[in-house]
Amino acid sequence: MSVAPSTIRPAPVKAAAYGGYHTRHVPQPDLEITSTNPGTPMGEYMRLFWQPVCLSIELGDLPKAIRIMGEDLVAFRDKSGNIGVMHRHCAHRGASLEYGIIDKSGIRCCYHGWHYACDGTLIDAPCEPDATRLKQTVCQGAYPAFERDGLVFAYMGPPEKKPPFPEFDTYKLPRGNKLVPFSNIYPCNWLQVFENIMDHMHTAVLHNKMVVEGVDDGTAAGLSLEGFGDMPIMTWEPTRDGNGMVFIAGRRLPNDKVWVRITEMIFPNFLQIGSLLPTAARERHSTAGCTRWNVPIDDTNMIIFGYRHFNKEVDPDGLGSEADCGVDKIDFLEGQVGDRSYEEGQRAPGDWEAIVSQRPIAVHALENPGHSDIGVYLCRKLLREIVRGKTKPDGLYASLTAEGKTLPIYAQDTVLSARRLPPAEDRKQILELNKKVLEVMRSADKLDADERDSHIRRKLDEIDGSERVGA
Amino acid sequence: MSVAPSTIRPAPVKAAAYGGYHTRHVPQPDLEITSTNPGTPMGEYMRLFWQPVCLSIELGDLPKAIRIMGEDLVAFRDKSGNIGVMHRHCAHRGASLEYGIIDKSGIRCCYHGWHYACDGTLIDAPCEPDATRLKQTVCQGAYPAFERDGLVFAYMGPPEKKPPFPEFDTYKLPRGNKLVPFSNIYPCNWLQVFENIMDHMHTAVLHNKMVVEGVDDGTAAGLSLEGFGDMPIMTWEPTRDGNGMVFIAGRRLPNDKVWVRITEMIFPNFLQIGSLLPTAARERHSTAGCTRWNVPIDDTNMIIFGYRHFNKEVDPDGLGSEADCGVDKIDFLEGQVGDRSYEEGQRAPGDWEAIVSQRPIAVHALENPGHSDIGVYLCRKLLREIVRGKTKPDGLYASLTAEGKTLPIYAQDTVLSARRLPPAEDRKQILELNKKVLEVMRSADKLDADERDSHIRRKLDEIDGSERVGA
Amino acid sequence: MSVAPSTIRPAPVKAAAYGGYHTRHVPQPDLEITSTNPGTPMGEYMRLFWQPVCLSIELGDLPKAIRIMGEDLVAFRDKSGNIGVMHRHCAHRGASLEYGIIDKSGIRCCYHGWHYACDGTLIDAPCEPDATRLKQTVCQGAYPAFERDGLVFAYMGPPEKKPPFPEFDTYKLPRGNKLVPFSNIYPCNWLQVFENIMDHMHTAVLHNKMVVEGVDDGTAAGLSLEGFGDMPIMTWEPTRDGNGMVFIAGRRLPNDKVWVRITEMIFPNFLQIGSLLPTAARERHSTAGCTRWNVPIDDTNMIIFGYRHFNKEVDPDGLGSEADCGVDKIDFLEGQVGDRSYEEGQRAPGDWEAIVSQRPIAVHALENPGHSDIGVYLCRKLLREIVRGKTKPDGLYASLTAEGKTLPIYAQDTVLSARRLPPAEDRKQILELNKKVLEVMRSADKLDADERDSHIRRKLDEIDGSERVGA
């Protein structure tokens, strides 16, 4: 795949041993796809989607000051249970509503008692002898917001473009699935955290006992993804007419089996991945173990909000831990959260260290991409084409959400039989399996939601049968 | 009153429910009247007046580094008792005089021992074989300074414009009055702290049990001004030919009484208010309970310096506490000082939270002013007219200070008889009382200082008698 | 000596008592000779020399993040003992190599395991199916580096201009000399720390019991240089064709003796000084007690790296302490390191307070230089002439380092006999002795290294004999 022009260095420098003097210049970051402040191309695009802004458990009897895409906001749940997400500073004289008093309906500014409903309308202004004019002309800047399974979502885009909230099959399937909310703060730009997901090959390095000699086995194991240690055979593909993409990772297992894993991004910042447990490589088919939104706080800070999925299909052995999911904590892998000492991070680095240390905003112009980066570069290219208006919105996504139907996803794990061949041929065979599994997932798009799962399982069984010929 | 042009938003946005997207832009602050750095219009105006720069008790055997209106300074008391207020960095090679050694006369820089008198003249330069030329050409940048009742004052303006220090009647009256110095630091622009005083109606909201449910009664009481809970009937007036202003707040009391309170600002940053105790609404007449200067540290930090007045007239029941007045502490109201936790501030907000949270410099262009803001907007308008050269200096102030006479003030509290009328008429009656009381105060301007108090009391008695007709 | 044009104030202000209003403007610092970021004149000049970047003891089993002249780097010792000094961010995707895993040879980035040799060449890229192209085109930006007597040196300039490492006579002489490494961090620009050395007269002030009354004798003594309390008679001279300079300080001792001390700078940032012990004024002749490089971290932070010399000649009574030399600590004088409280610094200021408090970058345009500053201004003038290309490189330095020979130094302490004369004549006599001693030191330049010491001692004896006539 080609690299977008703006990420190519203007005057390439020939690398040489001890050549630091010639490569020391640090160019500006690529703001077109990293900056999400109001009015930026990426910021306006991201505002067209519902975004999580905090966890439900963060809203008690006090308002919570939050910062999303460079906007200072306050979130609260009023005493009637309505959610307010508003500009932080009172429309009257600017006092912060983080010091406001939550009311039966809405919130009162502490300074003069101006009382706003959750939609921002002025209900009362006790210092005003005649508040009629004010009630007609003043509104606190507010955003539509609601709670869903422990996350608080807001829509910060143009009111006339507010979309329905997209429901994915995976939220309710398999039957009995439980969504457990969590967050995860990274003090760096959102994109380097998001694109890391398409950089699947790092799981075989960073998440495979990449520790300093002397680190104890328990710590090393906590940082490692069991079963992800072998280098996968990778395929990357745009999906949803360029509004999403997947990686497909095929891994050779013992006993003439191949494990095909698909992880999916839907732009701008949504993704679903399968299980991160060793059992991911055991079952015929399972889907999302985790749903995440990569939400910018501002250009140099971000917060992941997500749902861990708890069900028997993604976690047949019950290895996950609901209690370890919450505010800035998750139940898989050490090194995801900035809660360790600098030295601990050095001795046993995790995603947090590898990603945050790419600079406050990673400088793409300094990179030297290889095969493992194809997904990252495809992700950036697709985002750039969207913000430049070259990509049409996803029709299926639009029509299903408009109809209130749930959306298919492509993230999944499948284990298939496939006789081990000599390396070059085996690689080719696995690449073909990668494609076939994605085709199966896509072939369910047009079906009704309740038919998709059985259709997919049937199709995967067919592939499994056909491949088994040589076994 | 009209709002100054520069505070009107260029492209007004129609407020609407859930309209945050259209009102998210944060314009620049109004630097013409908020910035006081050297060379700014407001900064040059403010430098024409004596300003307090620290408390006497802060000057011991070590120099104190201070920052006033963006200038880094050092203050000290030499061993002869002279006060020095100087540029912080030594005129020789820039070492800070906060590490200087205080001498019998002046201060010595620690680096090369250059020795400056309090006026900045070079007394000695021990490393210089012939210091004659240096003594003639080098001066440490110094400002005239002196102590008065526990505050250290300096004059930072052009030497040729140095005014006499203005003495107010209230400093010595009533007989036996005691001035107790204090300071109070706010990490925000000076103007939002200063103008808050003309925003008197907030006392009926913020200072009236505006706390989150569950806060204990003692905390709530500590944050509340007893007697200020009813919404006052307000009048705002320029005074001193536009060089000052007052609010007059009339409040209906039980038993056909009305309490008329006047608080006065003298520009640029001086103010006097009456008592903040419940007894303010009990006596016929009392004057200043507090004198304050709102001094910029820099554009985003400020410090109030002031005197609490301790005397039997403003505090007949002896409720105040001298021991609670000092460096960044005062004896009235919780929530004035930044010494509480974030959560305490959220549960029981005070002036500190309401004012600091207006942003480092409040953005006037985002405000939606109402009736309660008339005083704030008048204050800004008058300041703007002064820095634009449209206002003549106050002749009375100039002539009295030149003659060494004390200055009259208008701040006071009075209780008058006035039969309660139906609401609309009562409001009219109170507005008339507001005006009459201000007239009484102004009518004493031309009198000799020792005649003013009895004149005012006689005039107030007359009003009280005439109003009592209907009772 | 003349002051360089750029340091003269454009519109000189006549200093006057209480004239702070007219001298409050703070101009920009003189970046031509203070800034060392990549591409600046001074930065490029400084990069032509080997610079210490950390201490050997700072390199253990973890990489060390360092910042030198505004470049973010990482230093490490691989398991074969090779030293790596590299750009901090991995050439692949920017993850920091401070989280890299040190290998038998070089270092591995934790993210994708890219493995670099100490010269920056790519040895392995485990995620890349075919890393051949990458190995040919990608290099981590690296700098040549090595260890020497406990310091790690790197060369950060253009590869084609890499010089030999200069060895000075003093490193090995006197026989048995031991070099003990140390560092010393100053949060300010490098130049104000460096030039302080040519400002020798401050030793008679700052380092001579310049403490607030009441400080105990032990603390005062720890801050004072015994024997440096009398004001020296100073001479300053360029050396090495303008690529270095010395001060020569002559001090009258009791018993018709004169102590002549020479301290030498070699530009851009190297210096050697004699002993700081009272015994410096006792022996006929001794040389370096301390070698230092003043290395910029960035424009507002710097770190001294140096060697304390331990031998019987500079410290005949064994007063120094090796154990007190190390990471940000040295064994002479309190007040060199930022480890004291603010109040301790105020009560008993040292170099750290006097220098750091000159502002993050001292503003030369505000200075009023006197006699004591001649050395400082000469230092700046010579540096400016070098970065403007007006000074030819030092031929002797170049030829001796090219031949692998050790370099002579001029730093030394000598005690000579000289009958005390009336003050004016004595001053003249001492100035002549100053010149003579420097001439002696220079006369050894052309000799072989092993002949220099005896030549110098013989010549000094001759001077001593001739001066003794009058005794």
Buried b (16+ CB within 10 A) or exposed e, B249-281: bbbbbeebbbbbbbbbbbbbbbbbbbbbbebbb
pLDDT at residue number A471: 36
* Length reported for chain B: 471
Longest CA–CA span in chain C (Å) reads: 88
Contact present, B95 and B129 (Cβ < 8 Å): no
Closest Cβ–Cβ partner in C19, C367, C371 for B129: C371
Tokens of residue A400, six digits: 């299903």
Tokens of residue C348, six digits: 């008993």
At residue C415, the 3 state secondary structure works out as strand
* Length reported for chain C: 471
In whole angstroms, what is the distance from residue C86 CA to residue C68 CA?
A: 11
In whole angstroms, what is the distance from residue B138 CA to residue B117 CA?
A: 12
Contact present, A97 and A90 (Cβ < 8 Å): yes
What percent of chain A is predicted at pLDDT more than 70? 96
Whether residues B112 and C372 touch (CB distance < 8 A) is answered with yes
Residue written as token pair 């001090």: C251
Alpha-carbon dihedral of residues A85, A86, A87, A88, nearest 10 degrees? -80
Strand partners, C115: C108, C124
What percent of chain B is predicted at pLDDT more than 90? 85
Strand partners, A273: A290
pLDDT at residue number A439: 97
Query: How far away is chain C from the Cα of B181, in angstroms, using its nearest Cα?
Result: 25
Whether residues C210 and B156 touch (CB distance < 8 A) is answered with no
Q: How many CB atoms lie within 10 A of CB C253?
A: 17
Helical packing angle, A449-467 and A423-442, nearest 10°: 160
pLDDT at residue number A4: 41
Q: How many angstroms separate the Cα of A20 from the Cα of each of A363, C141, C151?
A: 17, 4, 21
Residue written as token pair 């006599």: C429
Reported as a single tens digit per residue, the pLDDT across A216-267 is 999 999 989 888 988 999 999 999 999 999 999 999 998 899 999 999 999 9
At residue C308, the 3 state secondary structure works out as strand
- Is the per-residue pLDDT at A469 higher than 50? no
pLDDT at residue number C359: 98
Query: How far away is chain C from the Cα of B27, in angstroms, using its nearest Cα?
Result: 29
In whole angstroms, what is the distance from residue C169 CA to residue C181 CA?
A: 17
Strand partners, A151: A55, A148
In whole angstroms, what is the distance from residue A243 CA to residue C381 CA?
A: 62
Closest Cβ–Cβ partner in B87, B110, B138 for C353: B110
Predicted ipTM?
0.94
Which among C243, C157, C200, C194 is positioned nearest to C361, based on CA atoms?
Answer: C194
In whole angstroms, what is the distance from residue B386 CA to residue B245 CA?
A: 13
In whole angstroms, what is the distance from residue C293 CA to residue C290 CA?
A: 10
Reported as a single tens digit per residue, the pLDDT across A39-50 is 999 999 999 999
pLDDT at residue number A227: 86
Reported as a single tens digit per residue, the pLDDT across B105-161 is 999 999 999 999 999 999 999 999 888 889 999 999 999 999 999 999 999 999 999
Three-state SS annotation for C174-226: CCCCEEEEEEEEECCCHHHHHHHHHCHHHHHCCCCCCCCCCCCHHHHHHCCCC
Which B positions 299-328 lie with beta carbon below 8 A of chain A? none
Tokens of residue C216, six digits: 């105990």
Sign of CA dihedral A84, A89, A94, A97: positive
Give, in degrees to the nearest 5, the angle at Cα A358 between A357 and A364.
Answer: 175
Reported as a single tens digit per residue, the pLDDT across B92-102 is 999 999 999 99
Query: How far away is chain B from the Cα of C27, in angstroms, using its nearest Cα?
Result: 13
Reported as a single tens digit per residue, the pLDDT across A397-435 is 999 999 999 999 999 999 999 999 999 999 999 999 999
In whole angstroms, what is the distance from residue B223 CA to residue A99 CA?
A: 14
Closest Cβ–Cβ partner in B19, B21, B358 for A95: B358
Specify the amino acid at residue A119: D
Alpha-carbon dihedral of residues C377, C382, C387, C388, nearest 10 degrees? 100
Contact present, B53 and B73 (Cβ < 8 Å): yes
Candidates A21, A234, A247, A426: best to mutate against C (most CBs of C within 10 A) is: A21
In whole angstroms, what is the distance from residue A236 CA to residue A248 CA?
A: 6
Three-state SS annotation for chain A: CCCCHHHCCCCCCCCCCCCHHHCCCCCCCCHHHHCCCCCCHHHHHHCCCCEEEEEHHHCCCCCEEEEECCEEEEEEECCCCCEEEEECECCCCCCEHHHCEECCCCEECCCCCCEECCCCEEEECCCCCCCHHHHHHCECCEECEEEECCEEEECCCCHHHCCCCCCEHHHHCCCCCEEEEEEEEECCCHHHHHHHHHCHHHHHCCCCCCCCCCCCHHHHHHCCCCCCCCCCEEEEEEEHHHCEEEEEEEEEECCCEEEEEEEEEECCCEEEECCCCHHHHCCCEECCCEEEEEEEEECCEEEEEEEEEECCCCCCCCCCCHHHCECCECCCCCCCCCCCCHHHHHHCCCHHHHHHCCCCCCCHHHCCCCHHHHHHHHHHHHHHHHHCCCCCCCHHHHHHHHCCCCECCCCEEEEEECCCCCHHHHHHHHHHHHHHHHHHHHCCCCCCHHHHHHHHHHHHHHHHHHHHHHC
Sign of CA dihedral C312, C313, C316, C319: negative
Mean pLDDT of chain B: 93
pLDDT at residue number B7: 40
Candidates C122, C124, C139, C156: best to mutate against A (most CBs of A within 10 A) is: C139
Whether residues A376 and C87 touch (CB distance < 8 A) is answered with no
In whole angstroms, what is the distance from residue A63 CA to residue A84 CA?
A: 9
Query: How far away is chain B from the Cα of C288, in angstroms, using its nearest Cα?
Result: 25
Contact present, A271 and A197 (Cβ < 8 Å): yes
Per-residue pLDDT of chain C (471 residues; tens, 9 = 90+): 333 434 434 444 567 999 999 999 999 999 999 999 999 999 999 999 999 999 999 999 999 999 999 999 999 999 999 999 999 999 999 999 999 999 999 999 999 999 999 999 999 999 998 888 899 989 999 999 999 999 999 999 999 999 999 999 999 989 899 999 999 999 999 999 999 999 999 999 999 889 999 999 999 999 888 889 889 999 999 999 999 999 999 999 988 999 999 999 999 999 999 998 988 898 889 999 999 999 999 999 999 999 999 999 999 999 999 999 999 999 988 899 999 999 999 999 999 999 999 999 999 999 999 999 999 999 999 999 999 999 999 998 989 999 999 999 999 999 999 999 999 999 999 999 999 999 999 999 989 988 999 999 999 999 997 754 333
Whether A73 has its CB under 8 Å from any CB of chain C: the answer is no
Residue written as token pair 């900035």: A338
Contact present, B438 and B445 (Cβ < 8 Å): no
pLDDT at residue number A14: 65
Which B positions 51-70 lie with beta carbon below 8 A of chain C? 61-63
Neighbours of chain C (3+ CB pairs under 8 A): A, B
Distant-in-sequence, close-in-space partners of A22: CB < 8 Å, separation ≥ 6 = A13, A14, A16, C141
pLDDT at residue number B227: 86
Reported as a single tens digit per residue, the pLDDT across A316-349 is 999 999 999 999 999 988 899 999 999 999 999 9
Closest Cβ–Cβ partner in C23, C206, C359 for B111: C206
Which B positions 101-130 lie with beta carbon below 8 A of chain C? 101-102, 108, 110-113, 117, 119-121, 125-130
Reported as a single tens digit per residue, the pLDDT across C392-419 is 999 989 899 999 999 999 999 999 999 9
Can you tell me the mean pLDDT for B347-352? 96
* Length reported for chain A: 471
Query: Which chain B residue's Cα is nearest to A138?
Result: B15
Whether residues A357 and C156 touch (CB distance < 8 A) is answered with no
Specify the amino acid at residue B133: R
With cut-offs at 50, 70 and 90, classify the pLDDT of residue B470: very low
In whole angstroms, what is the distance from residue A197 CA to residue C291 CA?
A: 51
pLDDT at residue number A332: 86
Query: How far away is chain C from the Cα of B70, in angstroms, using its nearest Cα?
Result: 10
With cut-offs at 50, 70 and 90, classify the pLDDT of residue B467: low
Whether B160 has its CB under 8 Å from any CB of chain C: the answer is no
In whole angstroms, what is the distance from residue B200 CA to residue C160 CA?
A: 73
- Which H or E run includes C99? none
Can you tell me the mean pLDDT for B188-198? 98
pLDDT at residue number C159: 97
In whole angstroms, what is the distance from residue A407 CA to residue C212 CA?
A: 76
Contact present, B368 and A91 (Cβ < 8 Å): yes
Whether residues A102 and B17 touch (CB distance < 8 A) is answered with no
Whether residues B19 and A139 touch (CB distance < 8 A) is answered with yes
Query: How far away is chain C from the Cα of A249, in angstroms, using its nearest Cα?
Result: 13
Which among C249, C256, C257, C293 is positioned nearest to C274, based on CA atoms?
Answer: C249
pLDDT at residue number C207: 92
Reported as a single tens digit per residue, the pLDDT across B270-318 is 999 999 898 889 889 999 999 999 999 999 999 999 999 999 999 999 9
Whether residues B95 and C355 touch (CB distance < 8 A) is answered with yes
pLDDT at residue number A73: 98
Contacts of B236 in chain A (CB under 8 A): none
Using left for φ > 0, alpha for ψ between -120 and 50, and beta otherwise, residue B275 falls in: beta
- Is the per-residue pLDDT at A1 higher than 80? no
Contact present, A379 and A30 (Cβ < 8 Å): no
At residue C296, the 3 state secondary structure works out as strand
In whole angstroms, what is the distance from residue B112 CA to residue A216 CA?
A: 57
Strands, DSSP E only, in C70-176?
A: 71-77, 83-87, 101-102, 107-108, 115-116, 122-124, 142-143, 145-148, 151-154
Whether C86 has its CB under 8 Å from any CB of chain A: the answer is yes
pLDDT at residue number B14: 65
Contacts of A371 in chain C (CB under 8 A): 127-130
Tokens of residue C313, six digits: 């000649």
| End-to-end CA, chain B | 35
pLDDT at residue number A13: 56
Give, in degrees to the nearest 5, the angle at Cα B454 between B451 and B457.
Answer: 145
Whether B356 has its CB under 8 Å from any CB of chain C: the answer is no
Neighbours of chain A (3+ CB pairs under 8 A): B, C
